[in-house]
């Protein structure tokens, strides 16, 4: 009976993935979210509070007992209009939610993963400057500076640009986390599969809920069938919620097997491709430094 633990499964394409995972034969799905998910077993989780993450991991272990986790899906994410938000722990909100809190989920449940388990972390193509996305590309993956951007000498004084950088850099961290995990000797010994999944741009999800009203309205309208279908015909980086969610479920279920050595998958035109991430995301030294520095920020050994 496959057992999946998931964040970001209560709305958007994550809810579609969760429904697929819950329907699998004999499957058990545990969803961490602030509100009750429509499927599976819900456990409260607030990614803006590391104590909530710790309580969630403890509740998962208590709920599952000796049952190992076959798939860990870390899909939750936010984007903000600036980099001024701070969590209860004092960290910049976008970085904390998109990377740091989910890194802690991973670390706390790492020993509960079954041999041969799959870890899927949702990233974004905006982490790579080569995609020429409209957002400010990441300058670095320095966990200390991303957690405390006021200490970053390169911080853009324009709030909107600083917010964009917080988002794209957090998604770079996601790719690096998958790379770091896949390279760890214990993960190799246990045959764990670590994947960073880029669903492309998926309109109509809750990702834009913290942005301005005009941007939220545009995001919602572009996710409707009337506008969504023609937009996707013109731009292969745009994908429907159904395609993004079902592909996420396929990765978690192991229905799609990654080519040897590949940890980065991108959905383009509804089709999964195995592409190289950004140049910075391919650096092992950067991945290892992020793993170590993130551990220090959440109070764990590297």
Q: Would strands 41-44 and 69-74 be described as parallel, antiparallel, or unpaired? A: unpaired
Is the pLDDT reported for residue 226 higher than 60? Answer: no
Residues 49 and 89: beta-carbon distance below 8 Å = yes
Is the pLDDT reported for residue 213 higher than 70? Answer: no
Is the pLDDT reported for residue 219 higher than 70? Answer: no
d(CA 152, CA 22): 43
pLDDT band at 218 (very low <50, low <70, confident <90, very high): low
| Domains of the chain, start order | 3-298 (3.40.50.720)
pLDDT band at 188 (very low <50, low <70, confident <90, very high): very high
pLDDT of residue 201: 85
Q: Measuring CA to CA, which residue among 280, 282, 283, 301 is closest to residue 292?
A: 301
pLDDT of residue 40: 93
Annotate 207-236 with three-state secondary structure.
HHCCCCHHHHHHHHHCCCHHHHHHHHHHCC
> What are 60-101's pLDDT values in tens digits?
999 999 999 999 999 999 989 999 999 999 999 999 999 999
């Amino acid at each position: 009976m496959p057992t999946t633990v998931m964040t970001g499964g209560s709305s958007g394409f994550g809810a579609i993935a969760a429904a697929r995972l819950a329907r699998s034969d004999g499957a058990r799905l545990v969803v961490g979210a602030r509100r009750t998910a429509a499927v599976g077993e819900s456990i409260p989780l607030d990614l803006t509070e590391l104590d909530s993450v710790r309580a969630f991991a403890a509740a998962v272990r208590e709920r599952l007992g000796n049952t190992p986790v076959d798939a860990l899906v870390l899909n939750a994410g936010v984007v903000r209009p600036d980099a001024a938000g701070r969590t209860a722990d004092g960290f910049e909100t976008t970085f904390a939610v998109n990377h740091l809190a989910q890194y802690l989920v991973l670390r706390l449940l790492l020993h509960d993963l079954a041999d041969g388990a799959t870890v899927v972390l949702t990233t974004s193509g905006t982490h790579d400057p080569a995609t020429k996305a409209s957002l400010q590309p990441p300058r670095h993956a320095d966990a200390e500076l991303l957690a405390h951007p006021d200490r970053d000498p390169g911080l853009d004084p324009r709030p909107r640009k600083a917010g964009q950088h917080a988002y794209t850099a957090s998604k770079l961290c996601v790719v690096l986390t998958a790379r770091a995990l896949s390279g760890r000797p214990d993960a190799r010994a246990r045959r764990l599969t670590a994947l960073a999944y880029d669903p492309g741009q998926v309109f109509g999800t809750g990702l834009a809920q913290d942005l301005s009203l005009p941007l939220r309205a545009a995001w919602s309208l572009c996710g409707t069938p009337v506008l969504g279908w023609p937009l996707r015909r013109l731009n292969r980086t745009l994908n429907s919620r159904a395609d993004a969610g079902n592909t996420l479920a396929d990765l978690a279920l192991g229905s799609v097997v990654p080519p040897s050595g590949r940890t980065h998958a991108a959905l383009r035109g509804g089709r999964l491709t195995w592409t190289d991430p950004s140049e910075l995301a391919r650096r092992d030294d950067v991945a290892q430094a992020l793993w170590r520095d993130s551990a220090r920020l959440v109070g764990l050994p590297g």
